Amino acid sequence: MLRLDRAIYDAIVAHARRDHPDEACGIVAGPAGSGRAERFVEMTNAERSQTFYRFDSMEQLQVWREMDDRDEEPVVIYHSHTATEAYPSRTDIALASEPDAHYVLVSTRDAGEVEFRSYRITDGEVSEEPVEIAGVDQHAVQTYMFGQTPTSVVYDCPAGN
Amino acid sequence: MAIEVRIPTILRTHTGGQKAVEGAGDSLADLFTDLDAKYPGLRGRLITEEGALHRFVNVYVNDEDVRFTGALETKLSDGDSVTILPAVAGGALGFAAAAALAGTRG
């Protein structure tokens, strides 16, 4: 289960949309061991490509060092697919190097509706997890027409996953 | 001669969980050989069979990406600090496939 603040969810989606059709990427840092995704950090896609991404190596050093100083870890590592589904590709799986991270995939292939899904990737195995967005206001929920509790919306895994 | 080497989470299985270890060597290549003697298997995660630095591993010596300082030939001095970070990368299309499309070797 990935729990995300509404503001951070919005920031990830906005980043993906802004960089479309290039893939967008970044992290959400949080206190080490807590599983809480609290600090949103956009990263530069050094590849500037529509089909792959790579964190700029100097930027990654800076951000990773900052997390170390703050006793944080990358709780979420996100990137977008701009023409395919929000599911980890073989490359995504092969290169996943933070076993404790939640890998968020956003797809911007549809101009209207964004796909936002989360996965754990360890030892080459992918497992999808539900995403819970906290702090949803009632008006926004009405337009999405999802069933909801008053304070959170749970995006369940699609059937068959 | 002592060089501090910071180890990323995914490689700490080779160092018994330690996030920083010490090594010695006049070059990065020598340092990795030295580390492999103490932490078997570590070198294989950093250097390919062809003897080059793995494409998706970032190594920094005193905050400089070694891709710009001579890669494995980078010279080291006593007191230098080396940081290893696995690259964060991926995407819809594989790197190898994309390189093949571009007509270059992946």
Q: How far is CA A33 from CA A40, A139, A145, in A?
A: 17, 34, 34
Write out the E strands in A32-160: 39-43, 53-54, 72-81, 102-107, 115-122, 125-129, 131-134, 152-155
Of B45, A5, A98, A99, residue with least CA distance to A13: A5
Distance from the B86 Cα atom to the nearest Cα atom in chain A, whole angstroms: 6
Write out the E strands in chain A: 2-5, 25-31, 39-43, 53-54, 72-81, 102-107, 115-122, 125-129, 131-134, 152-155
User: pLDDT tier at B101 (50, 70, 90 boundaries)?
Assistant: low
Q: Which class for A84: exposed (0-12), middle (13-18), buried (19 or more C-beta within 10 A)?
A: middle
Separation between Cα atoms, residue B56 and residue B87, nearest integer Å: 5
pTM for this prediction: 0.85
CA-angle at B21, arms to B18 and B25, nearest 5°: 155
DSSP state of A55: B
| Cβ <8 Å between A79 and B90 | yes
Give the pairing type, strands A72-81 and A25-31.
antiparallel
Residue of chain A nearest B58, judged by CA positions: A57
Report pLDDT for B104. 43
- Contact A96/B at CB under 8 A: yes
Report pLDDT for B95. 63
Q: What are B87-100's pLDDT values in tens digits?
A: 999 999 866 665 56
Amino acid at A132: E
- Contact A104/B at CB under 8 A: no
Residue of chain A nearest B59, judged by CA positions: A57
The partner residues of B60 in beta bridges, in order of sequence, read: B65, B83
Report pLDDT for A150. 53
Q: What are A71-128's pLDDT values in tens digits?
A: 999 999 999 999 999 999 999 999 999 999 999 999 999 988 999 999 999 999 999 9
Report pLDDT for B20. 97
| Cβ <8 Å between B65 and A23 | no
Separation between Cα atoms, residue A22 and residue A80, nearest integer Å: 8
| Cβ <8 Å between B98 and A51 | yes
Report pLDDT for A60. 98
Domain of residue A111, residue span: 2-155
Residues of A numbered 29-68 whose beta carbons fall under 8 angstroms of chain B's beta carbons: which are they? Answer: 43, 47, 49, 51-55, 57-58, 60-61, 64-65
| Contacts of A149 by beta carbon, 8 Å cutoff, 6+ apart | none
Is A87 among the domain residues?
yes
Q: Which class for B97: exposed (0-12), middle (13-18), buried (19 or more C-beta within 10 A)?
A: middle
Q: What are A118-160's pLDDT values in tens digits?
A: 999 999 999 999 999 997 654 444 444 444 445 556 666 765 5
Residues A127, A119 contacting (CB under 8 angstroms): yes
Both structure tokens of B76: 């080291």
Both structure tokens of A32: 């080490």
* Percent of chain B residues topping a pLDDT of 90: 86
Report pLDDT for B93. 84
Is A121 among the domain residues?
yes
Q: What are A2-48's pLDDT values in tens digits?
A: 999 999 999 999 999 999 999 999 999 999 999 999 999 999 999 99
Helix (H, G, I), strand (E, B) or coil at A142: helix
| Cβ <8 Å between A54 and B89 | yes
Span B3-9, average pLDDT: 96
Q: Is the pLDDT of residue B60 over 50?
A: yes
Report pLDDT for B100. 61
Separation between Cα atoms, residue A26 and residue A60, nearest integer Å: 10
The domain tally of chain A equals: 1
Q: How many A×B Cβ pairs under 8 Å?
A: 94
Is A161 among the domain residues?
no
DSSP state of B68: G
**Main-chain phi, psi angles of A60, to 5 degrees:** -60, -40
Is A160 among the domain residues?
no
Report pLDDT for B15. 97
Distance from the B4 Cα atom to the nearest Cα atom in chain A, whole angstroms: 15
CATH code of the domain in which A16 resides: 3.40.140.10
Q: Which of the residues A91, A106, A108 would you substitute to probe the B interface, choosing the one with the greatest number of B C-beta atoms within 10 Å? A: A91
Distance from the B23 Cα atom to the nearest Cα atom in chain A, whole angstroms: 21
User: pLDDT tier at B105 (50, 70, 90 boundaries)?
Assistant: very low
Of A61, A56, A131, A122, residue with least CA distance to A88: A122
Q: Is the pLDDT of residue B73 over 90?
A: yes
For the B3-102 domain, the top CATH level (class) is alpha beta
| Cβ <8 Å between B90 and A95 | yes
Contacts of B95 in chain A (CB under 8 A): 52, 91
